[in-house]
């Protein structure tokens, strides 16, 4: 089955407190997003990559693509007001429904090859495959004015890629938007899909805060 990878890169990165959107901040002399795209392309150059950007960033994206000689074939789609609509726009660009699609954050440049390969295999047979890692800290749920502990062994922290049969996830994204849709798994679950969790990677951080840039720099310096 043909494999697509949707890379989401249309956020404004307000929590980074930087004038440059976080996906375009230079890390190890290259925009963070380009590290992600090159890594995915390196896993399998047959993946069809769709990059979702903010329409306001078109000139910036094209300028950086030329300046840093991005040598990854990508189709560009414009995002929406919420993550839900950005993914939906990208899925609308995938006309081959008898295929598989991975949805990945552009500011997660440390997903490994096994996450994609295992994810595609699992999604092909079971319909979905969502990367996650166990919580390592103690976990408490706050409910109004009270709070209570839960076993951390039962708590998983969701990552991307989140991979699906294209026909199923396209159908899920036909439902109306809800504020509780924080990732693709929540959208798929709302449509009645079973969510299959597969092993993620603790290095697979999502660069969100300024400290994450230092962690990313460290990890990239260790990457061959």
Q: Return the pLDDT at 19.
A: 80
Q: Which residues lie closer than 8 Å to 108 by C-beta, 6 or more apart? A: 36, 159, 160, 204, 205, 206, 207
Strands (E), the chain: 2-9, 48-53, 74-78, 99-105, 128-134, 139-143, 146-150, 156-165, 197-199
Please count the residues of the chain: 224
Domains and CATH numbers, the chain: 2-222 (3.90.550.10)
Q: Return the pLDDT at 193.
A: 98
CB atoms closer than 10 angstroms to residue 170: 16
Q: Return the pLDDT at 123.
A: 98
Distance, in Å, from the CA atom of 187 to the CA atom of 180, rounded to the nearest integer, reads 9
Q: Which residues lie closer than 8 Å to 65 by C-beta, 6 or more apart? A: none
Q: Which residues lie closer than 8 Å to 33 by C-beta, 6 or more apart? A: 7, 9, 23, 24, 51, 106, 107
φ, ψ for residue 150, nearest 5 deg: -130, 155
Distance, in Å, from the CA atom of 82 to the CA atom of 178, rounded to the nearest integer, reads 10
Tens-of-pLDDT digits for all 224 residues of the chain?
Answer: 999 999 999 987 666 767 889 999 999 999 999 999 999 999 999 999 999 999 999 999 999 999 999 999 999 999 999 999 999 999 999 999 999 999 999 999 999 999 999 999 999 999 999 999 999 999 999 999 999 999 999 999 999 999 999 999 999 999 999 999 999 999 999 999 999 999 999 999 999 999 999 999 999 988 66
């Amino acid at each position: 089955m043909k494999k697509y990878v949707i890379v989401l890169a249309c956020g404004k990165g307000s929590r980074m407190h930087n004038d440059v959107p976080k996906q375009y901040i230079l890390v190890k002399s290259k925009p963070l997003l380009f590290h992600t795209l090159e890594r995915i392309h390196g896993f399998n150059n047959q993946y069809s990559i769709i990059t979702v950007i903010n329409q306001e960033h078109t000139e910036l994206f094209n300028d950086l693509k030329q300046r840093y000689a991005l040598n990854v074939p990508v189709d560009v789609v414009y995002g929406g007001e919420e993550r839900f609509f950005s993914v939906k726009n990208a899925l609308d660009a995938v006309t081959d429904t008898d295929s598989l699609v991975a949805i990945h954050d552009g500011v997660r440049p440390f997903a490994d090859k096994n996450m994609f390969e295992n994810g595609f295999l699992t999604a092909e047979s079971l319909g979905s495959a969502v990367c996650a890692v166990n919580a390592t800290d103690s976990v408490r749920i706050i409910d109004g004015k009270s709070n209570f502990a839960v076993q951390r062994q039962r708590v998983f922290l969701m990552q991307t890629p989140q991979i699906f049969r294209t026909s199923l996830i396209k159908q899920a994204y036909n439902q109306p938007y809800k504020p509780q849709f924080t990732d693709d798994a929540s959208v798929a679950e709302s449509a009645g899909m079973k969510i299959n969790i597969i092993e993620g990677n603790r290095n697979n951080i999502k660069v969100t805060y300024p400290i994450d840039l230092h962690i990313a720099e460290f990890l990239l310096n260790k990457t061959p």
